[in-house]
Every structure is written in C-alpha cells, then in structure tokens.
Amino acid sequence: MARPATNLLLALIFFSFLCLIASFVRNDFSVMNVASNSNSALPLMYRVAASWGSHEGSLMLWLLMQSGWAWAVATFSRRLPLPMLARTLAVMGLLTLSFLLFVLLTSNPFDRLLPVPLDGRDLNPQLQDPGMIFHPPMLYMGYVGFSVAFALAVAALIGGNLDTQWARWMRPWTTVAWAFLTFGIALGSWWAYYELGWGGWWFWDAVENASFMPWLVGTALIHSLAVTEKRGSFKSWTVLLAIMAYSLSLLGTFLVRSGVITSVHSFASDPTRGLFILVMLAITVGAALTLYAWRAPSVGLGTRFAMMSRETMLLANNVLLIVATAAVMLGTLYPLILDAFGLGKISVGAPYFDAVFAPIMAVLVFFMGVGPLSRWKQDEVPALARRMRWAAGVTVVCAALTAWVGGSMGFMSVVGLLMAFWIVTTVAAELWEKLRPVGGVRANILYRLGQLSRAHVGMMVAHVGVAVFVFGVTMVGTYDIERDVKMAPGDSTTVNGYTFTYVGVQPTTGPNYQAMRGHLTVTRDGAAVTDLYPEKRVYRVQRSPMTEAAIYSRVRGDLYVQMGEVIEGDTWLVRIWVKPFVAWIWFGSLMMGLGGMLAVSDKRYRQRVRETAVQPGTAAASVR
C-alpha cells in the first residue's frame, strides 16, 4: 500500500512542478509568480531556474524533493522489513503533507494576477547565473534528504526496535543526503565568490548558518552511525541526531521565510507564513522528540568498548560537532534572544563566528587524525602515540616550511597549516599501516590497495578533502592581496609578480542587460598569462547595477578583477585581487562530497541475499 501511494504522490507533485515550469517557459504572466520573477527577455535556462527562485517556487522544489526521496526509499529498500518500511514511508508522507498544506494554505505558486501585465518584473540579476541554477536543488536534496534519516528514526522509535541493522540501513541514506548538502553549500559559497564581486566566500549570514547547522549535525550523525553500527551502542544518541538534522533543516526554512532574522538571502517575509512553519516545527519535531523521550530509556547499551578506542574518538568528534552547531546557533539567534528579553539590539557577524568556530574546529581536526589511527574497541595510549609520532613530526616540519616560504604568518594561520598537514599525514600513516607488508605475507601493495573497501577509501578522500579545504582557507586568508587603482588606457600595475595592463572599456549588450566591458591583459615576467574582461552591467528591467568580476583561476590561486566606478572618460577605478589557493576551498568541499558518495557505493550496501538471511534472527535478538 505504502509503495504505490508514495509513487503516486511523486508523480502528482512532479506534474504540478512541470506545470509551474511550463508557465515560466511560456511567459504566462497571468500567473503572479511568473510576473514577479521573470521577464520575456530572460534567457530560457533562467526562466526555468526562476521557477524555484521565489518563496512559493522553492517550496514546490522542496515538495518535489520530499516526494522524490520517499519514492527512492520505496524503490531502493527491498531489504527493509515491511513494517519498518511502511512506517518510514508513512512518516515521509506526513512530512510531504505538512508542506503541501503550507503551500496550499499560504504560498500558492499558481495564484493569478489579473489584469495580466504585459511583461514581468524580471528575475533578480544576481540569480541570473549558472551557479544559481544548481545551488537550490543540491541544497534541497540535502536538507530534504535528512528527512529519510528522520523518518527511519521515528519509524524505529514507533516500532520499538533500535538495532544495529537499523543503523546500517540509515547510513547510506544519510551519507548521500549529506554529500548533496555539501555540494549545495559549496556551490553557494563559490557563487558568492564569483558573483558578488568582493572575493569573499562565506559571510556567516543567518541563512548560510541555517544550511550549515544541519550539515554539522549530519556529519556528527554519519560518524555516530559508525559507532552504533559497529557496537550497537549510543543508539539513542544516534536517533536524537537523526531527529536533530532534519529539525535543523526545518528551522532553516523558518529562519529564511519568516522575517525573524535579517538576511541578504531571505525571501520576502510574511509573519503568517512564519507562524505556519512554527506550528509545523512544533508538531513534527515535538512528536518525534516525545517519541524519543518515551522510547529512549528502554534502549539497550550495545556492546562494550574501552575508554581509549576508536569509538571514543568518534564520540569526541560528535561532541565537538554538536558544540560547533550550538555555537553557530547561539550566534545566529543571540540578537533575537536579546531583543526578545528587551535587552537591546546587537549584531553578531563574522568576527564572532571566526573567533569561536576556528578553535573548535582545530580540536576536531586533532581527533580526525587520531580517530582512524586508533583501534576499535580497545587501544592503548602508548601504542597510539607511537603510531602518531611520524605523522606529528612531518606535520610540524611541513607547516614550518610552508610558513617560512610564504612568510609572515599569524598564529591562527599556523594553526590552520598544522591542521591541514595533520589530516594528510595521519591519513597517510593509516594507509601505510594497511598497505605495508606484514611478516611473511609479502602481498603486493597494489593488491592491498585494491582490497581497501570503498567505504574506507571514501573516508580517506573525504578527510583529505577537509585538509584541502583548510589549506585553501588558511592560505587565502593569510596571503590575499587587494589593490585598488585608477586606470586609464595603457596604465598597468603589478601585484605579486603579475602585471595587469588596462586596455580600455567598451559598451556591450546582453540579452537583458547593457554593460561596460573592461579589458585587461595579464603578464608575468613578460610572458602573457591571460586576458580578463570584467563587466559592469545594468539590467534593463530592474535597473540595478551589477558587477561581473573577471576571474582567472588556477591551482596556485586566482586573479580576480572588478570594475569599480568610472572616474572620468575612459579612466576607471579598478580593483585587483590575487588570491592564493582559493579554489582549494571548493575543491576540498567537492572531495568531501565525493568521498561520501564513494563510501555509499561500498559493496556492503549492495549485498542483498546475505542480509535477508541474517535479518529475522538478529531482529528477534535485538528487540527491546
């Protein structure tokens, strides 16, 4: 019953979504959403993307994802026992229902606008960009994907069976959702970098934080699931994390759409919508947490493990990630808290988050290195220390070398370098432990490499991704150079060895904008490097000026040029940045997500026959 219902729900919602897209593509301005967010001069791909660019449209996207994930669970969970599957699908159906009610009662994207205007108000120029086409779908795949973990957790609580089998089912779903969320956040950050024209990539804006909090909890959940699956322990904590991840997704939705917090990202705020989401939050999360409070006391302890063991390291990871989440939440909500208590209005911005978040991450990264090197169930400190000493030594040497070559590094930058190298060296150390010949058995290294499970390789790729990310953040934060110059045709300036020569400006036209297009040539030691064409655009309908920075991106760093304003005639104020290793930030994030995907493709999740045979026995043994 549940499966066909789920499939039908997806089909219907998908059809509805197609109708919305069709209205955009056909320029049907009698639909209010189309009139507010589109224009006949808007290129086709942006007309399609505009369908999810507004509050109402983005909810349709959410609905599509919600029903899509439910369909995926229905289709790909042949191994799940039917009662569990039924309950999971039921919960997901209820979640879809709540969003459907939200759309129907408060945010109907198909409202008509009569009399029909001749043309639309155009999509916000900043959203007319390829990055913006993929960022919301990726993000929503992640947010909504956590509802699978949520549904599995609630279904398990209802049924009263929290066993290691359940943890094994949950793991791939959670990891895939987490990977998508990683991609979505990274895309958003990259977009902000190249589109907003200031070279920044993360602003700790409330909505950014709203996407980051589920990610942090999702990361904690993935690692907690590893412990629960291995030892059957800390089950109630894992369940709680699963509930928290999706709750934070809902919280994020509330923050963006209610107007409770100011943000560049927020949709037009409407307190009635805010109230609806609040009620939705109260019911959804409240019910789940009530179930948790009811069932958790009777959950078993699982099997034993020592104080010093990989399990403990993973749990320490959890503590740090949850504290980090709490810090982000505290910072984001604090202005609201003070205001609610009548204690005045403050702002909490990047200076706070940077100061508080970085140290927590530094400690986390330490455990990231120690964790994979420690043994399951039981380990000894001296043995562990011995395994780590090579990695520690190389870390310090590499960090010192880099700092010496780069020059003038502050304390936090050195910490960043240590973090990045620590991760890489500990991954290498663990790899070495697995690959080196063991007494007598001289199996060849390539064979051993092939024996590594995808899950293990995925973990290593993801962890190295973190190292790459931290390295990028550290280097660009320390060595970023900005130069503002007045340039007349023929003028040049040299930044960090690169000579930028300004050729001139030319007026140019796009499909729905007019622009002044600058031209700069870049050389290094006389050899030509590239030509850069930054633009200053004015979009015809919204008449808002926008800068399109010109970026030349290489592994070693980016050259980033922005047209400021015209000083007189052909002389412009030009802003030039040289940003070392900045692309490593997004490449590292990409590696993290890919590592996750790799881990999910592991053989253990594709084994079917053995699983079904084992199931009835263990299910009976583990029921509490």
Among 36, 236, 249, 562, binds another protein (CB under 8 A): 236
Rule CB under 8 A: which of 403-422 touch another protein? none
551 scored as a contact of another protein (CB under 8 A): no
Rule CB under 8 A: which of 301-340 touch another protein? 301-304, 306-307, 310, 312, 315-316, 319-320, 322-323, 326-327, 330-331, 333-340
Q: How far apart are the first and last CA of the chain?
A: 28
CA 384 vs. chain centroid, Å, equals 33
Among 34, 487, 551, 590, binds another protein (CB under 8 A): 487
Rule CB under 8 A: which of 18-37 touch another protein? none
Nearest to another protein of 594, 619 (CB atom): 619
260 scored as a contact of another protein (CB under 8 A): yes
493 scored as a contact of another protein (CB under 8 A): yes
296 scored as a contact of another protein (CB under 8 A): yes
537 scored as a contact of another protein (CB under 8 A): no
Rule CB under 8 A: which of 59-118 touch another protein? none
Bridge partners (DSSP) of residue 500 are 493, 522
Rule CB under 8 A: which of 162-191 touch another protein? 164-165, 168
Among 101, 116, 350, 449, binds another protein (CB under 8 A): 350
| Residue 538: φ, ψ to 5° | -125, 115
DSSP 8-state secondary structure symbol assigned to residue 125: G
Nearest to another protein of 19, 435 (CB atom): 435
The CA–CA distances, whole Å, from 556 to 325, 475, 583 equal: 32, 10, 8
Among 112, 377, 389, 556, binds another protein (CB under 8 A): 377
Among 31, 80, 151, 206, binds another protein (CB under 8 A): 206
Among 10, 192, 550, 574, binds another protein (CB under 8 A): 574
472-501 burial: b if 16+ Cβ within 10 Å, else e: bbbbbbbbbeeeebebeeebebebeebbbb
380 scored as a contact of another protein (CB under 8 A): no
480 scored as a contact of another protein (CB under 8 A): no
Number of residues in contact with another protein, rule: CB under 8 A?
122
Q: Which residues contact 192 (CB under 8 A, 6 or more apart)?
A: 200, 201, 202, 203
Stretch that binds another protein, among 104-112, 196-204, 525-533, 553-561 (CB under 8 A): 196-204
Among 360, 361, 409, 592, binds another protein (CB under 8 A): 360
Nearest to another protein of 136, 372 (CB atom): 372
Q: Which residues contact 442 (CB under 8 A, 6 or more apart)?
A: none
602 scored as a contact of another protein (CB under 8 A): yes
Among 160, 286, 393, 616, binds another protein (CB under 8 A): 286
- Helical segments of 26-129, H only: 32-37, 44-50, 55-76, 82-106
Among 78, 345, 442, 543, binds another protein (CB under 8 A): 345
Q: Which residues contact 401 (CB under 8 A, 6 or more apart)?
A: none
Residue from 427, 417, 426 nearest 362 by CA: 417
Nearest to another protein of 4, 342 (CB atom): 342
Using CA atoms, how far apart are residues 316 and 76, in angstroms rounded to an integer? 33
Using CA atoms, how far apart are residues 178 and 242, in angstroms rounded to an integer? 12
Stretch that binds another protein, among 13-21, 119-127, 135-143, 257-265 (CB under 8 A): 257-265
Using CA atoms, how far apart are residues 324 and 318, in angstroms rounded to an integer? 10
347 scored as a contact of another protein (CB under 8 A): yes
Stretch that binds another protein, among 76-84, 102-110, 237-245, 466-474 (CB under 8 A): 237-245
- Min CB(22)–another protein separation in Å: 32
| Residue 530: φ, ψ to 5° | -165, 175
453 scored as a contact of another protein (CB under 8 A): yes
Q: Which two tokens stand for residue 433?
A: 């432990």
274 scored as a contact of another protein (CB under 8 A): yes
Bridge partners (DSSP) of residue 576 are 483, 561
- Min CB(25)–another protein separation in Å: 30
DSSP 8-state secondary structure symbol assigned to residue 490: T
The CA–CA distances, whole Å, from 7 to 70, 99, 363 equal: 8, 17, 45
501 scored as a contact of another protein (CB under 8 A): yes
601 scored as a contact of another protein (CB under 8 A): no
DSSP 8-state secondary structure symbol assigned to residue 304: -
Using CA atoms, how far apart are residues 430 and 435, in angstroms rounded to an integer? 9
Using CA atoms, how far apart are residues 248 and 261, in angstroms rounded to an integer? 16
Using CA atoms, how far apart are residues 612 and 619, in angstroms rounded to an integer? 11
